[in-house]
Amino acid sequence: MAAAHAEHLEHHGPPAPHYSSRVTPGVLGMFLFIASEIMLFGSFFTAYFFVRVVNGTPWPTPPYHLPVYVAFINTCILVTSSFSMHWGLQSIKRGNVWGLRAGLLLTFLMGLSFLITQAIEYSRIGFNTTNGAFATIFFCLTGLHGVHVFVGLSILGFMTIRAFRGHFSAEEHHGVEIGGIYWHFVDVMWIVVYLTVYIL
């Protein structure tokens, strides 16, 4: 009794958490956040459906054209960044700190290249949100995704700084895993936007 009482006195703070599944609260929280973001994108895709299918608006509306080739290059960049993100995570799981740093840095640079290319595309595209429903939906969908890329780059920036400061190891890499989940979501969502807006 005395030993148990002494142990109780030495313990401070809340008890250790017990998870009901193999998914940690951080990962579960990220999945729930992504689910809410999918619903946000879904509202814009609904508007796209009504503009293009229900109302029969030409896509793109003449005389405007979409830079399909530039968007394809951007798609290749973003998909490749998903592989470098995966490489970085797998590296730190094996204790390879330099592999993590290289993977995160490459992912950040490719994401930045994507965002810069999209900004240049906007400046040269020849129409804006006042040029009809087609232009409005185009900028809403691609712009919303661009905002998500910016958020992902901010997360990647913090992860990269932490990686170079030695904050991650084979045992402690939870932050990389959560950030990686978000970045993969950004990549997958761009593929959907690219196919819907530029190809179909």
Q: Determine the Cα angle at 113 with ends 111 and 118, to 5°.
A: 100
Q: Is residue 135 domain-resident?
A: yes
Residues 6+ apart with CB under 8 A from 177: 27, 89
Q: Environment class of residue 90 by beta-carbon count within 10 Å: exposed (0-12), middle (13-18) or buried (19+)?
A: middle
pLDDT at 45: 93
**pLDDT of 9 higher than 80:** no
**pLDDT of 10 higher than 70:** no
**pLDDT of 145 higher than 90:** yes
Q: Is residue 50 domain-resident?
A: yes
Give the domain extent around 106. 26-57+72-199
Mean pLDDT of 48-66: 88
Tokens 């193999």 correspond to: 22
The helix (H) or strand (E) run that includes residue 86 is helix 68-93
Residues 6+ apart with CB under 8 A from 196: 45, 48, 141
Cα distance between residue 149 and residue 78, in whole Å: 10
**pLDDT of 73 higher than 80:** yes
Q: Is residue 19 domain-resident?
A: no
Tokens 């592999």 correspond to: 99
Closest CA to 184 of 87, 116, 96: 87
Q: Is residue 170 domain-resident?
A: yes
Mean pLDDT of 86-112: 94
pTM of the model as a whole: 0.85
Q: Is residue 9 domain-resident?
A: no
Q: Is residue 4 domain-resident?
A: no
Q: Is residue 41 domain-resident?
A: yes
pLDDT at 20: 59
Contacts of 62-66 with C-beta under 8 Å, sequence gap 24+, read 64/125, 64/126, 64/127, 64/131, 64/134, 64/135, 65/126, 66/125, 66/138, 66/197, 66/198
Q: Is residue 35 domain-resident?
A: yes
State the amino acid at position 176 in one-letter form. Answer: V
CATH code at 172?
1.20.120.80
Query: Residue 11 to residues 3, 19, 74: CA-CA distances in angstroms?
Result: 13, 20, 53
**pLDDT of 76 higher than 60:** yes
pLDDT at 1: 56
State the pLDDT confidence band at 13, using cuts at 50, 70 and 90: low
pLDDT at 174: 85
State the pLDDT confidence band at 149, using cuts at 50, 70 and 90: very high
Tokens 């030409």 correspond to: 58
Cα distance between residue 2 and residue 10, in whole Å: 12
The tally of domains found in the chain comes to 1
State the pLDDT confidence band at 172, using cuts at 50, 70 and 90: confident
Mean pLDDT of 154-174: 91
pLDDT at 188: 95
